[in-house]
Every structure is written in C-alpha cells, then in structure tokens.
Amino acid sequence: MRAAVYYNNNDVRIEELERPGPGPGEILVKVEASGICGSDVMEWYRVKKAPLVLGHEIAGTVEETGMGVKGFKEGDRVTVSHHVPCNTCRYCRAGHHSVCETLRRTNFDPGGFAEYVRVPAINVDTGTFLLPGGVSFEEGSFSEPLGCVVRGFRAAGFEPGKTVAVLGSGIAGLLHVKLAKALGAGAIIATDVNDLRLDAARRFGADLTVRADTEDVPSKVREANSGRLADIVFLCIAGDKAIAQAMESVDRGGTILFFAPREPGSTFPMPLFDIWHNDITLKNSYASCPADTVAAIELIHDNRVSVADMITHRLSLGEAPLGFKLVSKGGESIKVIIECQR
C-alpha cells in the first residue's frame, strides 16, 4: 500500500509499505480522509521520531475485521481515535484522560496518511465510532480536532453568555470560534496576524477580529465587551507576545486556557501578583476523551458546528508533500485534507 512517510516538513515521501492485517479484536480501516493537523508540522516534536507515517484525524471504511470483533463489520463508515485512554486508572476516573499511560502509548498502525490503518483492539473498543448518515468522510475527520476543542471548553468552565477571546485563528482557533458561537458565547473576539484567517474568523462567527501585530488587543476586547475584558481567553498560539496579550485581555475572575503547546523547556515570566490579585485561573487542555469525540460527532451531524466550509485544500495521497508545505507555512491554507484513496 502507499503511505506518506514523514522525514521533515519539506521531505515527505510517498513509499510502498506492507499492508497490515487485523489480528484478534482488531479492524483494518480503508482511509478515505485524513486531515493535516498543526501538530503534524511541529518539527521540534516530530523530527526526532522520523521517519514515520503521521496522520491522526481520519475517517474511512472498515475493510476487514479480526476474529472476535463485535460492533463493527465490513463496510461500516467510521472515525478512529489514535490515542485512547484505559478509562479505569486513577487519572481517567478523575477526568484527566490525557495523562493516562494507556493513552500515551496507544496508536494505530501505521498512521493516517496511508491507504489503510490497522486499529488495535483497545482502539476498536474505546476509540472507534460509527459515522452517522449524512456525515461525510472529510467531515468525520474533524471529530478528533473538534473533540479536543470540546474538552478545552469543559476545562475552561465555559457557559453560555461568557465573553470569549480566541488568540490565534489557525484551524484550532477557528474551531474555538465556531464552538463558541454554537454554544452561545456573549461576544467572540478573534486575533491573528494573517488576513485570510481573520476573514475566516469573521465568517465563522467572531464579532470582532483584531490584527495582533498592529492593534492593541486588550483595548479591542474592551471595545467589543462594553468596557470589560474577556471571561475566557483561549490561547491557540504559543508565542510570548500572544501569552502577554492573553494576560492583559482576561477579566478579573476570568480564565486563560492554554491550548497550543510550546517546545519542552520553554518558559515565560508570569505576572504572579496580577494572577493572584485578579483571581485569574490558568488551565490547559491536551487531547480529548471518547465522550468529547462523541460530542464532536453529534455537533457535526446536527450542523451546529459546520466543518466542510473550513477545508481550503483537498489533495491526493501523492500530493501529501504539498499539503505539509502548505500547513507548515500557514499563510495560504486553513484546513488541508488528504484523500488517501486517490
């Protein structure tokens, strides 16, 4: 079978790999759509593991089932989580699924930028979901990134009517904008330094967009929110300037949710007195649990969060190298989908 093998952002090679077969309790999925995630082009994270087949936002068709598989059959349309929690350890029971040891070591084989993936039994059991009728494969591939955003909203304590500032309007930030709109945010302010993304943020529900490199972000937040700062700031970009803007844009008693990761060892000087004096809550969110994925699928199916309009590029598997370059540059694309069967 063909697969896009990652060496670095500018070196992705289409290679022939042996097609895996499902063992007991496993399934083989024919990948129809696989989204390129922003984390796929974080070279500080990926290069040290290269060469490898990336891709974790997938949807496709069950091609084969292993012995003993229940609940799925050949021809089923599914989306599959690459990392899955055990749901039984102390972390999972406390709602901290993303630090579960099982989640951190599970994956499918080889990765979503391939014609087929083998889904291990535990992923079949807790991380494989049927796509409802009317949800396309490309829409189904959004269940993972939207599920991560759903988890972030839970972690931040979002409630309808709260004012939201989304710093960074890449695909993750834009999903935050869409979900905030769907869940009844009081006002939504989105920032970026790219006009394409700011235009998208306005189309997707932002009440105000701000050029983060040339405009005063906290002042603009106050302008959009009757003189108050934001109840929740979602940090969907991890640069120093964005973090500083977040600290200056959150209201007293508010929450800053760190969604975008930084390279290990990175630091930032926190204004600890201001955090203490203004009762600011700092939260972070990584990955999602199965319940978040189910919620994401329902949001997509009910058209409360539309996702097809976020796709700017649909590329064949052979064009995956171009897809990685588009996403790593970030200026010309919002969402790139790889159609692995062409």
Q: What does residue 38 show for φ and ψ, rounded to 5 degrees?
A: -60, -30
Indicate whether 136 and 243 sit together in one domain. no
Does a structural domain hold residue 297?
A: no
Pair 272, 324 in one domain: no
pLDDT for res 29? 98
What the block records as the tokens of 305 is 């969060």
Reported as a single tens digit per residue, the pLDDT across 95-109 is: 999 999 999 999 999
| pTM, entire model | 0.97
Shared domain for 90 and 207, answered yes or no, is no
Q: Are residues 188 and 311 in the same domain?
A: no
Are 85 and 200 contained in the same domain?
A: no
**301 inside domain:** no
167 in a structural domain: yes
Mean pLDDT value of segment 143-151:
98
Residue 8, token pair as written in the block: 């670095």
Residue 287: name the closest of 84, 128, 118, 131 by CA: 84
Residue 295 maps to a domain = no
68 SS3 class: coil
253 with 177, same domain: the answer is: yes
Same domain, yes or no: 137 and 163 = no
Rounded Cα gap, residues 243 and 270, in angstroms: 9
Count of the separate structural domains present in the chain: 2
Residue 315 burial class via C-beta count within 10 angstroms: exposed 0-12, middle 13-18, buried 19 and up: middle
Query: Which among 194, 199, 188 has a CA at the least distance from the CA of 224?
Result: 188
148-202 tens-digit pLDDT = 999 999 999 999 999 999 999 999 999 999 999 999 999 999 999 999 999 999 9
Determine if the peptide bond prior to 110 is cis (ω within 30°): yes
State whether 88 and 199 are in the same domain. Answer: no
The answer to whether residue 58 is domain-embedded is yes
Sequence-separated (6 or more) residues with CB below 8 Å from residue 84: 102, 103, 106, 122, 123, 125, 126, 127, 290
Do residue 137 and residue 6 come from a single domain? yes
Q: In this structure, what CATH number is given to the domain that contains residue 98?
A: 3.90.180.10
Q: Are residues 270 and 316 in the same domain?
A: no
In a domain, 95, yes or no: yes
Asked whether the predicted pLDDT for residue 30 surpasses 90, the reply is yes
176 and 221 inside one domain = yes
- Has residue 216 been placed in a domain? yes
> Is the same domain home to 76 and 122?
yes
Residue 104 belongs to domain spanning: 2-142+307-339
Whichever domain contains 261, its CATH number is 3.40.50.720
